[in-house]
Amino acid sequence: MFHHCLPYGPAHVLPAVVHPMQNCVEHVFTTTIVPNVFPSHETIVSHNLIQPENYFPHSTSFVSNVQPLPAVNHPPMFVGGFPGGGPGFGPGFGPVATPYGGPGMPGMMPMGGMPGTMPMGGMPGTMPMM
């Protein structure tokens, strides 16, 4: 048997010296998915504006009623004015016979109107013109 000799002699074991512990931290990451739902709603409101347009059509009518009047008998008229004239009146001045049978001034119509016009109030049964 072969016996090996230690150069210093037999070894003696002493009690262990305990030092403060060192903390080594290792970070390990994992991914966890958490679904977050944010609902939204859109309402589209259509506005239809109705703008009325008013129209006022108007028409105008003109009616001329012609009614012959009965002839009126007057005393005879004298050419040159009244018999004997008067102060300041010369020959040819005075009433003359009208085509409608009545007296008047030259160019006048019965009832004092102008030729082609109606007197105020018009004919019976008509509205006066405004």
- Chain segment 74-113, per-residue pLDDT in tens: 777 666 555 555 555 555 555 555 555 555 555 544 554 4
Phi, psi (rounded to 5 degrees) for 20 = -60, 150
Reply yes or no on whether the pLDDT at 35 is more than 90. yes
Q: DSSP for 86-126? A: BTTB-TT-S-EE-TTSSEE-TTPPGGGPPTT-PPTT-STTS
Quote the Cα angle for 74-79-82, to 5°.
Answer: 70
Distance CA 78, CA 31 (A): 136
- pLDDT-derived band of residue 20, with 50, 70 and 90 as boundaries? very high
pTM: 0.22
Reply yes or no on whether the pLDDT at 21 is more than 80. yes
Distance CA 74, CA 65 (A): 26
- Cβ neighbours for 101, distance < 8 A, ≥ 6 positions apart: 69, 71, 72, 74
> CA 114, 116, 121, 124 torsion: positive or negative?
positive
Question: 């990451």: which residue's tokens?
Answer: 29
- pLDDT-derived band of residue 70, with 50, 70 and 90 as boundaries? confident
